[in-house]
Amino acid sequence: MFDRAVQLKAEYRGATLRETPPLAGRTIAMLFQRPSLRTRVTFEAGMNQLGGHAIYLTEDVVMGARESVRDVARNLERFVDAIVARTGPHAVVTELAAQAAIPVINALTLREHPCQALADIFTLRERHGSLDRLVLTFVGDGNNVYHSLALLGGALGMEVRLAHPPGYGPNASIVERARQLAAAGGGRLEFFEDPTEAVRGANVVYTDAWTSMGQEAEAEERRDAFSGYRVDTALLDAAGPDAVVMHCLPAHRGEEITSEVMDGPRSIIWDQSENRLHVQKALLVELLAGTVAEE
C-alpha cells in the first residue's frame, strides 16, 4: 500500500492524468459525528482525484439519531462502495463494519485513528527508507493517535515510546495487541513518565492535543495534568540534533507544542498532513479497485 501511495503521490505532483482513473464511477459515504479538516478534505479530494465521488453526511442524518446504525449500514451498502466513519465511540464503527457488506474505514474514534498512523509512518518511510529500529516518542495522551502509532509502528519494526502523565495512559488491550504485533514485526513499546528521558535518542518526537474531541468538559484539569508534557525547543534538543517533530493536527499552539517548534526547521508536520491524501488514496484503491460485482 505504501508503494502504491508513492506512485499516486508522484502522479499527483506530476499532474499525470490517467486515461481511466482507478475509481471511476465509485462512491463513498462519509459519516462524520465529529468535525474534521484533514480527514474530510483528503478523502473527498482523494476520491475526486481517483475519478470517484464522496458524499459527506453529518450527525443529523447518521448513526442512531434518526435511524439505527444497523439500518444506516443496510441502506448504504446498497448505494455506495465504502463507508468512511468518524465517530466518538469505537463501537459505532465496529457495528457499521459488522452490519455493512462493504468496506468501512475508521476515520477516527476515541480509541483509534489508523489513517493518521498510516500517513505518519509512510512519511517516516519516505524520509528514512527503512523503519527498522526507528525510535518514535509520543509525548502526551495515550489515546487514539498513540494507539494507532503503537499498533502500526511496532508491527513495522519501530520502537514506539510513550511519555504520559499518571492517569492518561493507553488502553491495556491495545497495548497487549501492539506488543504482540511488535514481537512479530521486530518492534518494541516503551513507557515513561518523564518526557525528557523518553525522547533521549529518539528520531521522532510526536505530540497531540491534550484534550481530544468529545472530552471538552475535562479541558481545564487536562491542562494542569499535561503542563509538563509540552514539546518545545528544549525537549526537542534533548532528543538529539537530528530529531524531527510530528503532530497529527489540529494543534493548540502554546499548549502541547510551541509555535517555535511547529514552524521550525525540524517540523515535518505539513508533510505528514500532505501524506494523508496519498496514503488514503492508496487505501481506497486497495479496497475498491476491481471490486465491482461481475454479475
Q: How far apart are CA 292 and CA 11, in angstroms?
A: 24
Binding flag, residue 145, ligand NVA (CB under 6 A): yes
Among 49, 106, 137, 144, the residue binding ligand NVA under the rule CB under 6 A is: 144
C-beta closer to ligand CP: residue 110 or 182: 110
Among 212, 258, 273, 280, the residue binding ligand NVA under the rule CB under 6 A is: 212
* Contact call for residues 209 and 250 (beta carbons, < 8 A): yes
Q: How many CA atoms lie within 13 A of 282 on its CB side?
A: 19
Q: What angle do CA 93, 271, 137 make, to 5 degrees?
A: 70
Residue 103: is the preceding peptide bond cis (ω within 30°)?
Answer: no
Sign for the pseudo-dihedral over CA of 278, 108, 41, 263:
negative
* Contact call for residues 193 and 139 (beta carbons, < 8 A): no
Site mask for ligand CP (CB under 6 A), range 236-265, x = bound: ------------xxx---------------
Rule CB under 6 A: which of 17-46 touch ligand CP? 36-39
CB of residue 10 vs ligand NVA: minimum separation in angstroms? 27
Give the residue from 194, 199, 187 showing the smallest Cα distance to 138: 199
Rule CB under 6 A: which of 239-268 touch ligand NVA? 248
37 binds, among ligand NVA, ligand CP, none (CB under 5 to 8 A by kind): ligand CP
Which residues, in sequence order, are CB contacts of 173 under 8 Å at separation 6+? none
Q: Is 272 designated active site?
A: no
Q: Is 248 designated active site?
A: yes
Binding flag, residue 92, ligand NVA (CB under 6 A): no
Q: What angle do CA 259, 43, 287 make, to 5 degrees?
A: 130
Concatenating the DSSP letter of every residue in 54-93 gives: EEEEEGGGSTTSSS-HHHHHHHHHHH-SEEEEE-SSHHHH
CB of residue 63 vs ligand NVA: minimum separation in angstroms? 17
CB of residue 144 vs ligand CP: minimum separation in angstroms? 9
Binding flag, residue 9, ligand CP (CB under 6 A): no
Q: Is 113 designated active site?
A: yes
* Contact call for residues 109 and 90 (beta carbons, < 8 A): yes
Catalytic residue, chosen from 86, 125, 164, 247, is 86
Q: Is 40 designated active site?
A: no
144 binds, among ligand CP, ligand NVA, none (CB under 5 to 8 A by kind): ligand NVA
49 binds, among ligand NVA, ligand CP, none (CB under 5 to 8 A by kind): none
| Kind plus residue range of the DSSP H or E element containing 53 | strand 53-58
Rule CB under 6 A: which of 86-125 touch ligand CP? 108, 116
C-beta closer to ligand CP: residue 72 or 108: 108
By annotation, the residues acting in catalysis are: 86, 113, 116, 208, 248, 276
**Residues of this chain that bind ligand CP (CB under 6 A):** 36-39, 108, 116, 248-250
